[in-house]
Structure 1
Amino acid sequence: MTGNLDTARAFFEACETGQGWGACQPYCHPDAGFSAQSGAIAEITTLAAYADWMQGLLTMLTDGSYDLTAFAEDPERATVAACAVFTGTHNGADGPVAATGLQARSDYAYVMKFKDGKISHMTKIWNDGWALKQLGWA
């Protein structure tokens, strides 16, 4: 693995296990951007805010986990892509509604852009409507 792949993997694991920005920050530029065309997270514009959103999500989906299905680097574009399936049951803290006991199984991808060995921007590709419906939130 290259340095970018190692960094992306460490960031991905910290983010997806709900460790928040404190654990994700060493792998990212302090002002790293974030974007997604998903209603639930469309207003999030920094990677710091997204990492903290994931931390909060895992207080509601306490059994949340991921199955990594692909992880690849495009060195020419200084980009790493991670594809996974997230699974979680709303059995923890109340979220948009009281705990439903319902489970979501949701495909998603991260596209992480690198600058000087750290993530400078990440785009999440995710059908949030599908996941929210599975959880009984929509």
Structure 2
Amino acid sequence: MNMEQTARDFFEACETGGGWTACEGFCHADAGFACQADALADVTTLQGYTEWMKGLLTPVPDGRYDLTAFAADEGRGKVVAAAVFHGTQTGADGPVAPTGKAVASDYAYVMTFEGGRIQHMTKIWNDVHAVRQLGWA
């Protein structure tokens, strides 16, 4: 499988709440994760992030993405995906009782490959904007 297809398959598995079980085959076991957002400040592994995404679909059960761009840079071993996350907080087990408020939040992933698998991923995201839309702040 090529780098671009691996990234597409990982993206789909992660964004649909598959968690680490669905994503680990596309990643190194020790794959790192970074994001300059308070909501993800304690998440440092890609395994932790995939589980965080899985957990997000509990309070936002209709969570889904609209992929807006996808590009592979073979020379640098990188794949970049840009998308908009959509959903409404109707489920329980969120940071507050269900608000019924919707979110449309832009984000991007920069995936770094090594040996055909994702070694690190950086998420670029404005969590403050998303949290406000959902009525969590």
The two structures, once aligned, show a CA RMSD in angstroms of 0.8
Which digits, 9 at most, give the CA deviation of each residue in 1:8-59, with x for residues without a partner? 0000000000010000000000000000000100210000000000000001
Trace 1:36-115 onto structure 2 (pairs within 5 A): 36-115=35-114
Q: Which residue is 1:27 aligned to? A: 26
CA distance in 2, matches of 1:40, 1:32: 19
CA distance in 1, matches of 2:55, 2:11: 16
> Which amino acid letter does the alignment assign opposite residue 129 of structure 2?
W
Q: Which runs of 4+ in 1 moved over 4 A?
A: none
Q: Which residue is 1:13 aligned to? A: 12
CA distance in 1, matches of 2:37, 2:73: 24
Q: Normalising by structure 2, report the TM-score.
A: 0.98
CA distance in 1, matches of 2:41, 2:72: 25
Q: Normalising by structure 1, report the TM-score.
A: 0.98
- Count of residues in correspondence between the two structures: 137
CA distance in 1, matches of 2:30, 2:49: 12
Percent of aligned positions with the same letter in both sequences?
A: 62
CA distance in 1, matches of 2:21, 2:92: 22
> Which amino acid letter does the alignment assign opposite residue 56 of structure 1?
G
Alpha-carbon deviation of 1:94? 2.6
Which digits, 9 at most, give the CA deviation of each residue in 1:99-123, with x for residues without a partner? 1000010000000000000000000
CA distance in 2, matches of 1:38, 1:32: 19
Which digits, 9 at most, give the CA deviation of each residue in 1:57-81, with x for residues without a partner? 0011001010000000111110000
Unaligned runs of 5+ in 1: none
CA distance in 1, matches of 2:20, 2:93: 22
CA distance in 1, matches of 2:93, 2:20: 22
CA distance in 2, matches of 1:22, 1:85: 24
